[in-house]
Structure 1
Amino acid sequence: MAYWVGLTGGIGSGKSQVAAAFADAGVPVIDADVISRGLTADNGKALPEIRKQFGAGVFDQEGRLNRAQLRDLVFRRPEAKQQLEALMFPLILSEIKTQQQKYAQAVYGVIDIPLLIERPEFMALISRVAVVDTSEQNQIDRVRRRSSLEDTEIRRIMASQASRKERLLVADDVLPNNGTVQALVDKVGRLHRYYQARFLYLSRVNP
């Protein structure tokens, strides 16, 4: 049985870089965002129910989901956010469990879940929480550089996520990301070696 580490962090924290570094080290990585995009891509499993609950206005003329339109609707209407989460999270959870079974023989794996802290059902999938942490200003600066979002939009997204304090309170491991990419990759390498030793030992004493 593989042990699973839940990886999380706010927008612009560098979580995707950490996930990539774990993958480069040969660790199985399950990405909840990739799963979500697959569910809402062309012919995705979630599309019929999204159309039913939110109407044709969140789809373009070719029948593809207009993600920007849906995102704007969700931010403007809290009840729409709750509807979408109630629709998507069971599907994401089911797909994560399916993927976990594929790596049952691994020593450990990582599940990259942006909303890990906010959703107890995801916490039930993991043995440990790793948080990528940086300052709020770093988050804003990084997101601004990589996207066309305005600061007010970035702050709105940040406000919809767990706070730094909330993430750090549940963290078993913290990866500070206030320096270079290489420094972050080096931290992942050290944490990877620790996880390998820890989870290999646990698998031997708890077969």
Structure 2
Amino acid sequence: MTTPVATPWILGLTGGIGSGKSAAAEYFTTLGVDLVDADHAARWVVEPGRPALARIAEHFGSAVLQADGQLDRAALRTLIFEVPEERRWLEGLLHPLIADEISDHLARARSPYAILVSPLLIESGQYRMTQRILVIDVPQSLQIQRTLQRDGISEQQVQAILKAQSSREDRLNRADDVLVNDQDLAWLHGEVERLHHFYLTLRGGRS
């Protein structure tokens, strides 16, 4: 008789813009952990031919579509950052679809625990799909500095993104584990390894 494979427990990984959550997530995957990225799921649900894209174009007009029929993310971002009601409408449409997409992918995970990485883990309610939450935290001044260097956007745009994301306090209040990422990459990798060894000892995460 074969032993059934245990279902992995789910770690939610989040952090504000510029916190280094992507670098942390990437290193977890090199340690053999299966990972689902909510940003990727958010891109899959608005691909041409999928119902969400048609609804978005109907609501915002064809200005949010590129010539090839793909979603023009920059145009859409401008519209929703300026008008909070529009952002809420879009979230109401996309969050349930993204959650379904994430669930499908997590169901295929085979590592002892799997990771859902999402910048909006708390505010989208995606944290309910996880058993434990790891927050990559960083002082706000460093967050802004890193984002300006990486994305080449204005400080005003960074501030708008920070406003739209859940506050640092909210994230930290929800966290089971906090990794303060204010040093170099080698140090971050060392911290991820330490957490990984700890997570391998857990069964089912939060009781």
TM-score between the two structures when normalised by the length of structure 2 = 0.92
Give, in whole Å, the separation in 1 of the partners of 2:122 and 2:103. 18
Give, in whole Å, the separation in 1 of the partners of 2:68 and 2:188. 42
Q: CA deviation at 1:163?
A: 1.2
Contact 2:32–2:111 at 8 Å: present in 1 too? Answer: no
Superposed CA RMSD: 1.6
Residue 116, structure 1, aligned to residue 121, structure 2: yes
Q: 1:73 maps to which residue?
A: 79
Residue 142, structure 1, aligned to residue 142, structure 2: no
Residue 192, structure 1, aligned to residue 196, structure 2: yes
- Between 8-17 and 61-70, report the one with greater CA deviation: 61-70
For residue 114 of structure 1, what is the amino acid of its counterpart?
A: P
For residue 118 of structure 1, what is the amino acid of its counterpart?
A: E
Q: CA deviation at 1:113?
A: 1.2
Q: 1:161 maps to which residue?
A: 165
Give, in whole Å, the separation in 2 of the partners of 1:197 and 1:41. 39
Give me the identity figure in percent.
37
Give, in whole Å, the separation in 1 of the partners of 2:9 and 2:66. 42
Residue 51, structure 1, aligned to residue 57, structure 2: yes
Give, in whole Å, the separation in 1 of the partners of 2:85 and 2:137. 30
- The runs of at least 4 consecutive aligned structure 1 residues that moved more than 3 Å come to 41-45
Per-residue CA deviation, residues 109-133 of structure 1 (Å, 9 max, x unaligned), is 000011111123x122110000000
Give, in whole Å, the separation in 2 of the partners of 1:62 and 1:109. 35
Higher helix proportion: 1
Give, in whole Å, the separation in 2 of the partners of 1:158 and 1:19. 20
Per-residue CA deviation, residues 53-86 of structure 1 (Å, 9 max, x unaligned), is 2111211233221111100000111111011101
Look up the SS of the partner of 1:186 in the other structure: helix
Q: CA deviation at 1:158?
A: 0.4
Q: Select which of 163, 173, 178 maps to 1:174.
A: 178
For residue 162 of structure 1, what is the amino acid of its counterpart?
A: S
Give, in whole Å, the separation in 2 of the partners of 1:131 and 1:41. 29
Contact 2:135–2:175 at 8 Å: present in 1 too? Answer: yes
Residues matched between the structures, number: 200
Give, in whole Å, the separation in 1 of the partners of 2:50 and 2:138. 34
Q: CA deviation at 1:146?
A: 1.0
Residue 102, structure 1, aligned to residue 93, structure 2: no
For residue 176 of structure 2, what is the amino acid of its counterpart?
A: D
Look up the SS of the partner of 1:174 in the other structure: strand
Q: 2:156 maps to which residue?
A: 152
Q: CA deviation at 1:149?
A: 0.4
Per-residue CA deviation, residues 153-190 of structure 1 (Å, 9 max, x unaligned), is 10110011111111111100001100001101110000
For residue 27 of structure 1, what is the amino acid of its counterpart?
A: V
For residue 97 of structure 1, what is the amino acid of its counterpart?
A: S
Could you tell me which runs of 5 or more consecutive residues in structure 2 were left unpaired when the two chains were aligned.
1-6
Look up the SS of the partner of 2:141 in the other structure: helix
Look up the SS of the partner of 1:46 in the other structure: helix
TM-score between the two structures when normalised by the length of structure 1 = 0.92
